């Protein structure tokens, strides 16, 4: 059996440490590892869920902006194809 009395399974430990890492990393310097590790579980879960929802809303708003920009570029008029392109080659004046 993998279960231990009053202990975490290896999967639970990985999930806990991943959650602590996410809070410390995405907290942008507002949290250190020891503080998050010693938080009550309910507060750590609350903090994690708040950070998660914040970053999800940020990603959604950025995706919406990108989609709007793509639509704007698609609806813009195409460039004129008959224009002459400059050659940028000039002859030097000989003395």
pLDDT in tens, 1-37: 555 567 778 888 899 999 999 999 998 889 999 999 9
Q: Would you say residue 62 lies in a domain? A: yes
Return the residue matching tokens 């793509």.
70
| C-alpha span between 44 and 35 (Å, rounded) | 10
Per-residue pLDDT, 14: 92
| C-alpha span between 45 and 48 (Å, rounded) | 5
User: What pLDDT, in 10s, does the model give residues 40-94?
Assistant: 999 999 999 999 999 999 999 998 888 888 888 777 766 666 667 666 766 777 7
Domain limits at 31? 10-67
Q: Would you say residue 61 lies in a domain? A: yes
Q: Would you say residue 24 lies in a domain? A: yes
Q: Would you say residue 90 lies in a domain? A: no
Per-residue pLDDT, 82: 65
Q: Would you say residue 53 lies in a domain? A: yes
Q: Would you say residue 23 lies in a domain? A: yes
pTM higher than 0.85 for the full model? no
Q: What is the number of structural domains in the chain? A: 1
């Amino acid at each position: 059996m993998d279960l231990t009395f009053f202990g975490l399974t290896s999967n639970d430990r990985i999930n806990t440490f991943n959650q602590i890492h996410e809070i410390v990393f995405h907290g942008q310097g507002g949290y250190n590892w020891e503080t998050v590790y010693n938080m009550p579980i309910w507060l750590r879960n609350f903090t994690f869920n708040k950070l998660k929802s914040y970053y999800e809303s940020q990603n959604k708003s950025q995706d919406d902006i990108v989609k709007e920009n793509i639509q704007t570029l698609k609806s813009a008029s195409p460039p004129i194809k008959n224009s002459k392109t400059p050659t940028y080659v000039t002859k030097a004046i000989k003395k």
